[in-house]
Amino acid sequence: MYIGKVIGTVVATIKIDHLDQRKLLLVDQLDLHGEETGEYDIAVDVVQAGPGDTVLVIDEGNGARQVLGLDPGAVRAVIVGIVDEVSIQA
């Protein structure tokens, strides 16, 4: 999993069935200091996140399928949390 920032939305009418009725958000990966790394993902949102939110993203197929209740499911990146606080202590 990684922490990212939602920077936009992606709209697609033509898409595979697994993504029907799903909200797709553009997420920029953040480094330990909260800065954008330049890596990004188009992720399925299941926690009603929106642009500007700091989010927790899972990028693994089995977890994504479990969260979305799909089998098979061609999804990897899913936003599974909205982050309130990050504390780096060491």
Partner 1 sequence: MKFGRVLGTVVATRKYEGLEGIKFLVVQPLDEDLKPKGQPQIAADATAQAGPGELVFMVASREGAQALPEVFVPVDLAITGIVDEVGIEKSARRNQPSARWIDLSRDD
Binders in 31-90 for partner 1, by CB under 8 A: 32-34, 38, 40-43, 51-54, 61, 64, 72-77, 82-90
| Chain centre to alpha carbon of residue 27 | 6
Q: Which of 70, 63, 72 is nearest to 81 (CA)?
A: 63
Size of the site for partner 1 (CB under 8 A): 47
Are residues 77 and 58 in contact, defined by beta-carbon separation less than 8 angstroms?
A: yes
3-class SS at 62? helix
Q: Does 28 bind partner 1 (CB under 8 A)?
A: yes
Residue with smaller CB distance to partner 1, 19 or 46: 19
42 three-class SS: strand
Using CB under 8 A, list all residues that contact partner 1. Answer: 3, 5-16, 18-19, 24, 26, 28, 32-34, 38, 40-43, 51-54, 61, 64, 72-77, 82-90
